[in-house]
Structure 1
Amino acid sequence: EKDINEFYKDYVKKKFKRKSFIELEYEKLYLSFLIPKTRGTEKGSKKRYAGLIETEGKEEISIVGLEAIRGDWTEAAKEFQKKLLMLVFHKKNIKKFIRNYVEDIKSGKMDEKLIYKKSITKSLDSYVKTTPPHVKAARKLDKLESKRIEYYVTSDGPEPIQKLKHKINYDHYIEKQIKPVADSILLLLETNFSEIVQKTKQINSPLFFLNSSECRCWRPISYITLPRPNSRPYISPFFLTQTLNYKEYN
């Protein structure tokens, strides 16, 4: 810290013939650092980043603006993000971790960490135009004993933990909680959540090629792994071609 301030003091004096009033204070040193892209753009997010720091000989993740420190995300999503970041910073295998985490959610091992927690800010009758999930859950209670609502998303929609009647919708949590968190990091590694979980390269299907009144629809029906010289194997799709009448198909 002292050396840096001395450097700028000398630099300003030599360059501008002025006294420097710049004084920098050391805060932390990142051993590794990651800035996710802003959703929908190629730019890095200014107020969303994470880094690996060391405090008193112990490594920890320092997070700013990401889901792991926001109250509107489940404990499962927060835990998943922290563990995934730690693996990425240490260049460890992330695929097995992601697949196992998804399986743990589907098997019910993570139920306690799937609870949404949201506060009611006004009377339930005031929600007219839109009804947020936590309000829907609150309306299913016999009596509102707290402004803080804890609920699951089930096969029948949001339900308070006190009156859980239907099965937890695990697909919802995987798609809305785990997948977005994973993709914000995996995008920088040139992969994505779906590729890892499905163990294959994704291909958008069906693909349409319009020709007059006909539509030729190409659908992938199987995949094989082919060797590529001096590189890793890649997935090659085989397609079934089917000619359909465009008007009938729509």
Structure 2
Amino acid sequence: MRTVKDVFGDACEDTYANLNWAGREESLESSARRLAASMSLLSGLTGLQWYRDAEDLQSRTSNFVPVPADPAVLVGILRTQLFTNWGDTAATFRFLLSRDTPSLGNAEAAALSGSVGSAADSWNQIQLELADDFPLGGPVETAALFAELVRVWQPDHARLSNSAAQKELVMTRAAYLSWTSNKAYAEPVSDLEVSVPFGDGSLRAARVWTPGHVVALNAELAAAGAPSFSKRPAQQDPPQFPSDTPDLARVLSTVAVPAAAGE
């Protein structure tokens, strides 16, 4: 399977998926079930084990221990990671997907972190960071993984990007892949991307997966009045999704990945 490096070439550094949503209070049990589903999806794709640092954040040492994708275990971990700010409480976490116990000399394949369960608009998000050798696949496989994470977390907004594209942009929807909730945003469309209806929103893919194309897409969306992240209701109306995945192969077959083609 193509790796992140195969897909993005020299622009692969700091490839990530970010999913975020407005205020949505939910139980630790609910967040743990979502987290377990995400972990199982990614470990099933790679065959690798999840770890976390069991040391206190104030400690200068690390003690990485395995983390099972078990909601009963994860809810206990989240309970120890509650963060309170201005009367609002969120649960934070950071897990590493690695071939061996993480260390300074052993780079992980992926990192999954987030802050969830908050009634405030600015705290709920999931960040998946992918190493250069993560088995991403082509646009269809990548979009299928991305769509499943969207289904699991029910965000307002999600995007797959990397530092080569983001350093040229302000924080907008423009990305290699994106999804937005129709309940949160009224989005313009662009001929520089293809779109697939998915639940209460649309999954969109840039027609060419290069930083320059994403920058051009961003300029076109901005000129068409694309909303900023903050232009959404402060409390989320969670989007709903069908149980089946949309026909991604038919729509994304035209998406070009120059790095994979050796260009």
TM-score range, shorter chain: under 0.3
With normalisation by structure 2, the TM-score equals 0.21
Between 1 and 2, higher relative CO (CA 8 Å, sep ≥ 6) is seen in: 2
With normalisation by structure 1, the TM-score equals 0.22
Name the structure where helix makes up a greater proportion of residues: 1
Structure index of larger Rg = 1
